[in-house]
Each structure stands twice: as structure tokens, then as C-alpha cells.
């Protein structure tokens, strides 16, 4: 595999926290903000920043409501997000297979 092919990993997906978010959301219908935060082990602000980047790119959908006076944030992966995640995994697979050949 040529070095430039390895660099085709999508930087939006490749960031560890965003990869963690997508890895969780690909397996569920939706996840609460607090579940994502606890599962990934990040702060509210850091998670919020990464969720915003994914939402702006159209990879996830965020729904904010209130239950009583408490905010309730649900996140779900979009079709575009599923495709981006699948493409990322396929590229990783190509990288691994190329290393096994050498």
C-alpha cells in the first residue's frame, strides 16, 4: 500500500472521541448525551464540541428537549454517518490487509 493511501482516513471520523461516538451510535437507535459522556470518558464541553462537528457534517442528528427543567439530549447516526463510518472501517481493513501481505 502506498503511503498516500493510508492518509485517506477521514479526519472527521478518525479523531478518537468522534470515532468513539460513531462506534456507539452505529449500534443503537439513539444514545443520550450522558451515556456517551460516561462511555467515552470525556467532559461535557469536549463531547459537545465533537458532537457539534459531527452534526455540522451531517453524520449525526441531535435532538434537544427538556424533561421537567433538565435538558435531555439524544444523538443518532444518520445514513451519511453510517456510510462514513463504513468507509472508514473499510479503509482500515485495507491498511491491515496490506500489512499482512508484506
58 Rama class: left (phi>0) / alpha (psi -120 to 50) / beta? left
CB 77 within 8 Å of CB 60: yes
Q: Classify domain 9-101 by CATH number.
A: 1.10.10.10
Residue 1, H or E segment: none
* pLDDT tens, per residue, the chain with 102 residues: 566 666 678 999 999 999 999 999 999 999 999 999 999 999 999 999 999 999 999 999 999 999 999 889 999 999 999 999 999 999 989 888 877 765
Q: Is 30 helix (H, G, I), strand (E, B) or coil?
A: coil
| Domain parsing of the chain, residue ranges | 9-101
Predicted structure pTM score:
0.89
Alpha helices in 1-102 (DSSP H): 3-6, 11-14, 16-25, 33-40, 44-56, 79-101
Amino acid at each position: 500500500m502506498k503511503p498516500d493511501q493510508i492518509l485517506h482516513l477521514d479526519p472527521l471520523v478518525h479523531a478518537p472521541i468522534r470515532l468513539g461516538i460513531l462506534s456507539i451510535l452505529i449500534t443503537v437507535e439513539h444514545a443520550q448525551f450522558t451515556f456517551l459522556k460516561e462511555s467515552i470518558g470525556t467532559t461535557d464541553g469536549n463531547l459537545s464540541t465533537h458532537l457539534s462537528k459531527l452534526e455540522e457534517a451531517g453524520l449525526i442528528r441531535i435532538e434537544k428537549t427538556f424533561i421537567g427543567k433538565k435538558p435531555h439530549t439524544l444523538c443518532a447516526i444518520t445514513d451519511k454517518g453510517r456510510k462514513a463510518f463504513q468507509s472508514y472501517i473499510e479503509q482500515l481493513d485495507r491498511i491491515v490487509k496490506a500489512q499482512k501481505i508484506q
